[in-house]
């Protein structure tokens, strides 16, 4: 009995075309997203956990001006701290023969002799420092590979005031540079930013740091991680006279923040997207199953009359849904595994783990298929109940004719009178199948929500890029000077080739204090008439630099509980360490990092600075040859610690991020489109089957297949339209939820939902709806309507 019913089932499945296709498609995409995102999530989480623990990732980074090592005893016995290690860290530039401009990098000191450290490097090629030469360097492996640097080769680094030729002894990976960000960048540039490890003794020598350090890294007890900010405040208090420039806990450490935000984001997506798809799949299953029970009521009645058990019949009915769900699930697992591989491949370009394998997680696949089956089962449940409720005697009579009568709208005579008969058919059919109409609406709303969320996020990323790199930071390069200088440096820079415009910056590392809260940050002093740095408000209007007081990032203001008009206390970490008080003139919106802006003249007045410049920002000629000349000339200029090449950074951003985003966005739009496609396809196919007699009658009356299809198109258009209108708010809520996982000091995703998103959602929704209607229309063309009018269903 089981076997024969299975044969019936398999033959039905083989014969049922489009509706099963719609269910399988939607389930498959949902499950694929689930498997892909969960797998990618696990791959990344695994790599993070594995490499962080293997390398003993630090829990905090403290940057100081210069701390004698013998003073480290002051930090002993701070509860919560397991160990603290001093090291030397400086920005460097590197001259490579194949590059016509110096590249940025960071130099870090390591013990002369290999011993365990925090952020332990892993040597990938070559070896550790030898005892023979002082000037040896270990280069991060990715940079070395990008430039074909080999062990034994020499490279030239500009270290502080000295140019040094160093011998590469090895290449390495470090867990603290998984996402190796150059200065002011938000995506890694594996060619343009290098990490150079120097011998401790050598670094002390070249940086004039004998017996001292300018960075501390430390590890906390697990219990200490929750109170990390209190602990860091205590550390800061004990060594404050050595100039604490910044204290960064792990969760604000950029490399970790970017990685962890992505992992969190994946988890959010891996929940939202599959949930929506499976709900839509369940709705389609529900409609298809109820329809199927209607079609098979006589068969079910007959089986009951033959004496078949209800349990067997119910199971047989439900099994159809389960098999279809399982099919979608299994296909989804395959597609998902492939996608997981592709995503992980993509992550390998951004996150530089020595190995980031894309694994196969059997439990995840089992869970995925179970979810697919569960969704289909939930969708099929009502159909099964109906099959059980069928009385054999009445089931074998043909179904009662559908309810007729006028619908609610007909009471509005004026409105009703204005409708042409085809529209009346449409409206009546919508109102006479309220459940189906509501189900259609629901799928429309969900599809719209997902589509608009995806579009909103992509608009947000676009906006973030434009906002940050074109509106706020508009310079082509920033020169970081080794020390404060007077205005004459501007003249010097202006004389370099290709320089079009020069502006000074005075960066003052400070502690901000408001009520009990303190925060280490840097005040950026700008000239009132500055053009190259323009803080902006939420809608992108430039905020003037006030003559008195600060403009502060919204994120910082939120952290300190500040609002415009409040007075904030601040104290420089270097020089005369006194508390000053300044008003907050305005709050600026930004998405990358945080900043406090002030008028350079205002800072001078308060600090009594004689040399009001420690950075120079500039705009350059577009001509690439001229630019190259600029960077070559720059090498000769003394007193430059670091060059931030914004132009190249933007180029890199375009290259690595935006190109990938287009691929990802198209896939996402395609996926969201399957919701529209699947939902409308199943609705259309069912309508064509169910209303054969009605359509056949219209056909005989002289309607063309195109006009018959038009009736359905109108119905779907109506549902699509309402779904769009109602789905957009839900899309906004979803976007808000997702954007919420990308909010950190380092990077904040803006939540944008402009009319462009509505229009694009409507556009793509219509495109996919039209595609599904094309299939339905083809079905209508192929139906032999004259046969349909004679045949019994």
Partner 1 sequence: MLGRYFGLTRYAQSEVVTGNSSEGLLRVMQVTKVFQMGEVTLEALKDVSLDIHEGEFLVILGPSGSGKSTLLNLIGGLDRPTVGHVLYRGMDLSEFSYRNLTWYRREVIGFVFQFYNLIGNLTAIENVMLAANLVPSPLDPFEVLEKVGLWERANSFPSQMSGGEQQRVAIARALVKNPPLLLCDEPTGALDDVTGRQVLRLLLDLCREMKKTVVLITHNTAIAQMADRVVRLRSGRIVEVFQQPHPLPPERIQW
Closest approach, Cβ 378 to partner 1, in A, equals 24
Closest approach, Cβ 332 to partner 1, in A, equals 24
> Could you list the residues that contact partner 1 (CB under 8 A)?
1-8, 11-12, 15, 298-299, 301-302, 304-310, 391-393, 396, 792
Closest approach, Cβ 287 to partner 1, in A, equals 22
Reported in sequence order, the residue ranges of 10-54 that DSSP labels E, i.e. its strands, are none
Which residues are CB-neighbours of 515 under 8 A, at least 6 positions away? 561
Closest approach, Cβ 359 to partner 1, in A, equals 32
Which residues are CB-neighbours of 710 under 8 A, at least 6 positions away? 422
Question: Dihedral through CA 136, CA 140, CA 143, CA 148, nearest 10?
Answer: 50
Closest approach, Cβ 293 to partner 1, in A, equals 15
Closest approach, Cβ 759 to partner 1, in A, equals 47
- Name the residue among 521, 608, 524 with its Cα closest to residue 570: 521
Query: Judging by beta carbons within 10 Å of its beta carbon (0-12, 13-18, 19+), is residue 1 exposed, middle or buried?
Result: exposed
Cβ nearer to partner 1, comparing 1 with 733: 1
Taking the C-alpha atoms of residue 459 and residue 467, their distance in angstroms, rounded to an integer, is: 12
CA 522, distance to chain mean position in Å, is: 28
Cβ nearer to partner 1, comparing 12 with 205: 12
Cβ nearer to partner 1, comparing 2 with 662: 2
Cβ nearer to partner 1, comparing 326 with 711: 326
Query: Judging by beta carbons within 10 Å of its beta carbon (0-12, 13-18, 19+), is residue 152 exposed, middle or buried?
Result: exposed
Closest approach, Cβ 289 to partner 1, in A, equals 17
CA distances from 32 to 269, 270, 278, 329 (A): 12, 10, 11, 8
Cβ nearer to partner 1, comparing 5 with 665: 5
Taking the C-alpha atoms of residue 184 and residue 473, their distance in angstroms, rounded to an integer, is: 10
- Name the residue among 635, 656, 717, 520 with its Cα closest to residue 191: 656
Taking the C-alpha atoms of residue 352 and residue 393, their distance in angstroms, rounded to an integer, is: 70
3-class SS of residue 625: helix
Cβ nearer to partner 1, comparing 309 with 578: 309
Cβ nearer to partner 1, comparing 94 with 300: 300
Cβ nearer to partner 1, comparing 393 with 774: 393
Closest approach, Cβ 389 to partner 1, in A, equals 13
Cβ nearer to partner 1, comparing 386 with 468: 386
Closest approach, Cβ 314 to partner 1, in A, equals 13
734 within 8 A of 279, measured Cβ to Cβ: no
Cβ nearer to partner 1, comparing 77 with 792: 792
R_g (Cα) of the chain, nearest Å:
33
Which residues are CB-neighbours of 47 under 8 A, at least 6 positions away? 351, 353, 355, 356
Closest approach, Cβ 12 to partner 1, in A, equals 6
Alpha helices (H) in 623-754, listed in sequence order: 624-634, 646-653, 659-690, 692-701, 705-740
CA 431, distance to chain mean position in Å, is: 42
């Amino acid at each position: 009995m089981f076997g024969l019913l299975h044969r019936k089932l398999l033959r039905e499945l083989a014969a049922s075309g489009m509706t099963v296709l719609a269910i399988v498609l939607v389930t498959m995409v949902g499950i694929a997203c689930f498997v892909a995102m969960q797998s990618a999530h696990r791959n990344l989480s695994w790599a993070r956990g594995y490499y962080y623990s293997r390398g003993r990732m630090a829990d905090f980074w403290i940057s100081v001006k210069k701390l004698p090592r013998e003073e480290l005893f002051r930090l002993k016995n701070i509860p919560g701290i397991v160990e603290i290690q001093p090291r030397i860290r400086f920005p460097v530039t590197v001259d490579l023969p194949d590059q016509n401009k110096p590249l940025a990098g960071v130099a870090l000191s390591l013990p002369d002799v290999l011993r365990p450290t925090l952020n332990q490097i892993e040597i990938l090629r070559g070896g550790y420092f030898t005892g023979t030469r002082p000037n040896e360097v270990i280069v991060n492996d990715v940079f070395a590979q990008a430039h074909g640097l080999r062990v034994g080769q020499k490279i030239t680094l500009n270290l502080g005031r000295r140019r040094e030729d160093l011998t590469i002894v090895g290449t390495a990976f470090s867990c603290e540079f998984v996402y190796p960000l150059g200065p002011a960048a938000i995506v890694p540039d594996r060619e343009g930013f290098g990490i150079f490890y120097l011998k401790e003794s050598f670094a002390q020598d070249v940086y004039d740091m004998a017996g001292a350090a300018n960075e501390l890294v430390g590890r906390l007890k697990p219990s200490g991680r929750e109170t990390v900010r209190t602990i860091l405040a205590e550390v800061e208090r004990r060594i404050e006279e050595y100039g604490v420039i910044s204290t960064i806990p792990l969760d604000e450490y950029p490399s970790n923040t970017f990685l962890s935000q992505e992992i969190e984001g994946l988890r959010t997506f891996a929940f939202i997207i599959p949930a929506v798809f499976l709900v839509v799949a369940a709705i389609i299953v529900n409609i298809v199953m109820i329809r199927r029970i209607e079609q098979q009521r006589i068969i079910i009645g007959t089986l009951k009359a033959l004496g078949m058990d209800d349990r067997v019949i119910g199971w047989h009915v439900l099994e159809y849904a389960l098999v279809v769900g399982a099919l979608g699930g299994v296909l989804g697992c395959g597609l998902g595994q492939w996608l997981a591989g592709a995503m992980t491949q993509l992550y390998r370009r951004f996150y530089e783990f020595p190995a980031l394998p894309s694994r196969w997680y059997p439990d995840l696949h089992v869970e995925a298929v179970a979810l697919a089956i569960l969704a289909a089962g939930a969708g099929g449940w009502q159909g099964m109940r109906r099959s059980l409720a069928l009385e054999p005697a009445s089931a074998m009579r043909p179904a009662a004719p559908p309810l007729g009568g006028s619908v609610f709208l007909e009471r509005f005579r004026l409105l009703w009178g204005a409708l042409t008969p085809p529209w009346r058919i449409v409206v009546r059919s919508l109102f006479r199948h309220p459940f189906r109409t509501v189900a259609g609406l629901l799928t429309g709303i969900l599809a719209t929500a997902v589509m608009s969320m995806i579009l909103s996020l992509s608009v947000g990323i676009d906006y973030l890029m434009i906002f940050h790199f074109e509106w706020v930071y508009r310079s082509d390069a920033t020169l970081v000077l080794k020390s404060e200088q007077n205005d004459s440096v501007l003249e010097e820079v202006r004389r370099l080739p290709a320089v079009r415009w020069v502006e000074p910056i005075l960066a003052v590392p400070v502690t901000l204090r408001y009520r009990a809260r303190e925060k280490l940050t840097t005040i950026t002093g700008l000239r009132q008439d500055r053009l190259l740095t323009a803080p902006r408000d939420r809608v992108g209007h430039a905020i003037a630099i006030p003559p008195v007081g600060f403009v502060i990032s919204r994120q910082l203001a939120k952290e300190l509980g500040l609002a415009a008009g409040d007075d904030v206390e601040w104290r420089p970490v270097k020089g005369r360490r006194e508390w000053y008080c300044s008003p907050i003139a305005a709050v600026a919106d930004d998405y990358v990092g945080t900043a406090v802006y002030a008028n350079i003249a205002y800072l001078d007045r308060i600090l009594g600075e004689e040399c009001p410049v420690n950075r120079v920002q500039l705009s350059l000629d577009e001509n690439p040859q001229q630019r190259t000349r600029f960077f070559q000339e720059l090498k000769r200029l003394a007193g430059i610690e670091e060059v931030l090449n914004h132009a190249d950074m933007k180029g890199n951003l375009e290259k690595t991020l935006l190109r990938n985003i287009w691929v990802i966005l198209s896939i996402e739009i395609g996926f969201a489109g399957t919701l529209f496609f699947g939902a409308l396809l199943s609705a259309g196919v069912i309508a064509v089957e169910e209303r054969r007699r009605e359509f056949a009658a219209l056909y005989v009356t002289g309607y063309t297949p195109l006009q018959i299809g038009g009736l359905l198109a109108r119905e779907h258009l109506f549902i699509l339209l309402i779904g769009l209108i109602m789905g957009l708010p839900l899309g906004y809520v979803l976007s808000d939820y997702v954007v919420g996982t990308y909010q950190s000091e380092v990077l904040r995703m803006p939540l944008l939902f402009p009319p462009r998103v509505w229009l694009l959602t409507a556009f793509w929704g219509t495109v996919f709806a039209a595609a599904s209607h094309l299939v339905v229309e083809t079905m209508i063309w192929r139906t032999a309507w004259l046969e349909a009018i004679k045949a019994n269903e």
